[in-house]
Structure 1
Amino acid sequence: MDDKAAEKGSGTVVAGGNTDVAARLEEMGYKEELTRNLGMISVLGLSFAIMAVPFGTSTTLNIALTDGGPVTILWGWVFVSCVSMAIAASLAEICSVYPTSGGVYYWSAMLSTPKYSAFASYLTGWLGTVGNWTVTASITFGGSQLILAAATLYHEDYVPTAWQTCLVYWASLIGSLLINLFFNKHLDKLNNICLWWTGASVIMIIITLLAMADTRNSGKFAFSQFDASYSGWPAAWAWFVGLLQAAYTLTGYGMVAALCEEVKEPAREVPRAMVLSVAAAAVTGLVYLLPINFVLPAIEPLLQVASLQPMPLLYKEVTGSAGAALGLLFLILGIWFFATIGSLTAASRCTWAFSRDGGIPGSQWWKVVNTRFGVPLNSLILSTVVCALLGLIYLGSSAAFNAFTGVATICLGCSYAFPVLCSLLRRRKMVADAPYSLGKFGFIINGITVVWISFSIILFCMPTAIPVTPQSMNYASVVFAGFSAIAALWYAISARKHYHGPAVSAIRMAEAAPSPL
């Protein structure tokens, strides 16, 4: 399709230059405020950095080990990868029609009927924003736990305190804030480096583990060993609960829509990056996790680790060397470095975009772009502060990390499903001529997206093991309900009076106009 082709009816333009892109953005109701200096590889790198496959699967390994072991680790990854491809393709199609940093909340507004546009936009906007915040919190928190877990490689009796974990977590957030602020012009280079670092790290880790392992598990163990006894759940349900490991890792691809207004050709490059990042992540995870199954030591000691991060001990047990384990952990923490920066970048842009339309209390502050640094500084600070406050949950419960992962997966999943559902209910009329089209498979792919996400809302509120204690409780539902209450209260007090959805765009005006006789 020609880069300057137009979609009849909705005015979609796949921009071939910055002038066309600016015109398209103005047509959607916004003016250019950010510098377009990112290409497809940069967005792909950002999405890949946020998913951070080796890091994400490592920090949530205890979930899969509790709920089934090798079968959950391997086949859970394969299953969720296939579902994630359907979700990413559904979002990519919509993004190619509406390439704006508003992302999911803008899409919901445009794809729903004018009567419900504002409410659909408000609901999706809050789900997406909270999802972005909690993904950032969970990524940063998981890495902070890993840093302290590294000390146990040499001092097995050391048990990190809640305050120590929180201090490392807060320091990491401040570091990400400073890098996002002072190195904003170089974020595209960091995203590119992330691709190479992750690929090289996976290769070095699996070669080291396979070469240094004294014993290896059989193929039968690696592909079919299933033990749900640690969870207390029935076997089939335990496998589904264990899918949180893969679902949490494969969830950040939709966040990159918030970078649309910093990409040179967003209608083409962002959708491609979404889908390719999931495909790359799926392959990377398979290459990383299958060797882990072959060298997996006894599971029970791994689940008894005080830090709730068994991967450092796994590295040490397999290699027989604390030094080798520390070296492998350093590679994982390098991936975490890119993930924390990228997730905070996406969260701040999402917050900024939603604030432009008055979706967040105090929007007049959060929507400002700092001319000196070229970033929405206030939104960047707000995202950091919210994540910092979420860290306080850990002082009351060691299960805080599971709450972050669960809420992030649920909120982002819901924010992805809502515009897709709106499109389905209107029989996909608004994306019929999308530049990135799913064609005749659109209804099936969209249907898979909505059904899976609806099921996962219930699934990921479940504790990973029963009986439940205050320490093992999955507080995802509590955090989710807390943010929902804040959003509902703000809507009742103020937003329902002044929030009318995204800025009045030429698209919405054309749709609302009466048809000529």
Structure 2
Amino acid sequence: MLFNLTDGGTGGIFWGYTVVVIASIPIYLSIGEMASMSPTAGGQYHWVSEFSPAWCQKYLSYITGWVLATGWQGSVVGLSFSAGTIIQGLITLNDGTYVPQRWHGTLLVIAAVTLAILFNTAVAKKLPVVEICLLALHVAGVFAVVIPLLAKAPSFNSAQDALLHFQNHGGWSAMGVAVMVGSLTPLSSMLGFDCAVHMSEEIRDASRTLPKAIFWGVILNAAMGYLTVITICFTVTDYSILDSPTNYPFIQLFYNTTNSLAGTNVMVAIIIITLVCAVISEIATASRQIWSFARDGGLPFSPFLSKIPPNHPIPLNAVLVSFLSGVVISLINLGSTTALNAIISLTISALLGSYILSIGCILSKRLRGETLPPAHWSLGHKKGAVVNAVALVFLMPFFVFCFFPTSTPVDDQTMNWNVAMFGGILIFATVWYAVRGRKVYVPPVRRVKRDL
């Protein structure tokens, strides 16, 4: 809500989310098809290897693997950091004397990551049950938040104010730019449904199951997202919540609406619990990604990362490295929150970049007239090309705007350093590829064997 209300207002929230949902359809249709063709833990870097032209497939696949690996590791800290700072915001609401400290947030991040590691190791066999419980909490939590807001709101916006009132508090030269910058917030809520792909080698009948999991995830969350977005648009009548001492406008909105600390605490606690539980899924996804990439020799210390202990049914070394990575990245917050935010924001650009590369490669394979791998779920040659092209039309501008700061003028504190992080990853991966990677990395396409 903070970025969306600043850049776009309630109108920007509604129409930005609408565009994001429409864009999600061709994007995830494309990803679902590729997941059905090649259901492997590698996901996008595997698809780039399989579908790109032979002359560039090794390098493009390698770069995609690095972008994905770093992006998913950043997502672990991003969710944990959100949960931690929301806890600090809730404490501020309940105790006006509390002064948030960076080290408080860092400890909360470490606590969330530690809890996620326990679920991914000690109770790994029960992870599906945990995920089902999380789904139930996720769905029930939406109604537990939306119903009190609608029932207790002291006043509502008119339809015109709710859906057609735009704001440009970021100081952009045009309202359209402000809305596009603000739309990155709803975009982030509809990213990452490819996470199921990275668990594909632990899924029964993955070629059939993955597209269903992806599509139902998109449909369910899009519907609940619309319910939440419409509720926000009609109940946010006072933009002073942007200046809330909690640093989270939604916490202030909950309190202003319910006028109850107890009610606000329960509503916010649902969000905190959901975020912490989501870290469990992120650890599972991030660890499988680096395990798969290491299996192909794409990372330093690949033999260690790709090893699965005989007494564990999971890539334990990769899971532990994901834990250590989360802890180390969280320590950056002690020196600079800006630097930490730059690493966290890398997740959006990394996922968007991997979608562009993989969807672009399968489109190029279609345009070259080459035969695609068989799949239980296919878009077809002509329809598939159209869907892929439309997906890229949406992805490209989103990718560009994910590097924009939230407001102008820009200084070292308000600058979106995501562009430096993303560029740094590309440069480092390219140098490592030239020095070491090209000698040891084995593109997944060379390992593929199919029964046609």
Residue in 1 aligned with 2:133?
Answer: 193
Percent of matched pairs sharing the same residue: 29
Residue in 2 aligned with 1:441?
Answer: 383
TM-superposed deviation, 1:184 = 0.7
State the distance in 1 between where 2:47 and 2:116 align: 29
1:296 aligns with 2:250: no
Residue in 1 aligned with 2:196?
Answer: 256
The equivalent position to 1:375 in structure 2, one of 306, 314, 321, is 314
SS at match of 2:442: coil
1:184 aligns with 2:96: no
Residue in 2 aligned with 1:143?
Answer: 83
**Contact 2:197 2:210 (8 Å CA) reproduced:** yes
Residue in 1 aligned with 2:165?
Answer: 225
State the distance in 1 between where 2:200 and 2:272 align: 28
State the distance in 2 between where 1:86 and 1:270 align: 16
SS at match of 2:94: coil
State the distance in 2 between where 1:349 and 1:320 align: 44
Residue in 2 aligned with 1:42?
Answer: none
TM-superposed deviation, 1:385 = 2.1
State the distance in 1 between where 2:265 and 2:228 align: 18
State the distance in 2 between where 1:104 and 1:506 align: 15
TM-superposed deviation, 1:202 = 0.8
The equivalent position to 1:276 in structure 2, one of 203, 216, 230, is 216
State the distance in 1 between where 2:204 and 2:363 align: 30
Residue in 2 aligned with 1:126?
Answer: 66
1:406 aligns with 2:348: no
The equivalent position to 1:333 in structure 2, one of 272, 275, 279, is 272
SS at match of 1:152: helix
Residue in 1 aligned with 2:354?
Answer: 415
Map Cα deviations across residues 372-403 of structure 1 (whole Å, 9 max, x no partner). 33211111121222232322443344445653
State the distance in 1 between where 2:76 and 2:229 align: 23
Alignment of 1:301-312 (within 5 A): 301-305=240-244, 308-312=247-251
- Taking a change above 3 Å as real, the CA distance of residues 147 and 379 of structure 1, as seen in their structure-2 partners, is same
SS at match of 1:427: helix
TM-superposed deviation, 1:288 = 1.1
Residue in 1 aligned with 2:144?
Answer: 204
State the distance in 2 between where 1:292 and 1:246 align: 13
Residue in 2 aligned with 1:99?
Answer: 39
Instruction: Specify the code of the residue in structure 2 equivalent to 1:144.
Output: G
State the distance in 1 between where 2:371 and 2:360 align: 12
State the distance in 2 between where 1:316 and 1:129 align: 39
Residue in 2 aligned with 1:484?
Answer: 426
State the distance in 1 between where 2:77 and 2:432 align: 23
Residue in 2 aligned with 1:68?
Answer: 8
State the distance in 2 between where 1:186 and 1:66 align: 42
Instruction: Specify the code of the residue in structure 1 equivalent to 2:432.
Output: W
State the distance in 2 between where 1:464 and 1:370 align: 45
TM-superposed deviation, 1:306 = 5.0
Q: How many pairs are equivalent?
A: 449
SS at match of 1:431: coil
**Contact 1:241 1:464 (8 Å CA) reproduced:** yes
SS at match of 1:115: coil
**Contact 2:403 2:419 (8 Å CA) reproduced:** yes
State the distance in 1 between where 2:299 and 2:245 align: 38
**Contact 2:157 2:233 (8 Å CA) reproduced:** yes
Instruction: Provide structure 2 residue ranges, at least 5 long, that are not aligned to the other structure.
Output: none
Residue in 2 aligned with 1:450?
Answer: 392
- Taking a change above 3 Å as real, the CA distance of residues 506 and 76 of structure 1, as seen in their structure-2 partners, is closer
Please give the TM-score of this superposition, normalised by the length of structure 1.
Answer: 0.83
Instruction: Specify the code of the residue in structure 2 equivalent to 1:437.
Output: S
State the distance in 2 between where 1:222 and 1:81 align: 19
**Contact 2:92 2:245 (8 Å CA) reproduced:** no
Residue in 2 aligned with 1:45?
Answer: none
Map Cα deviations across residues 440-484 of structure 1 (whole Å, 9 max, x no partner). 421221012223222222201110011113222212112223322
SS at match of 1:417: helix
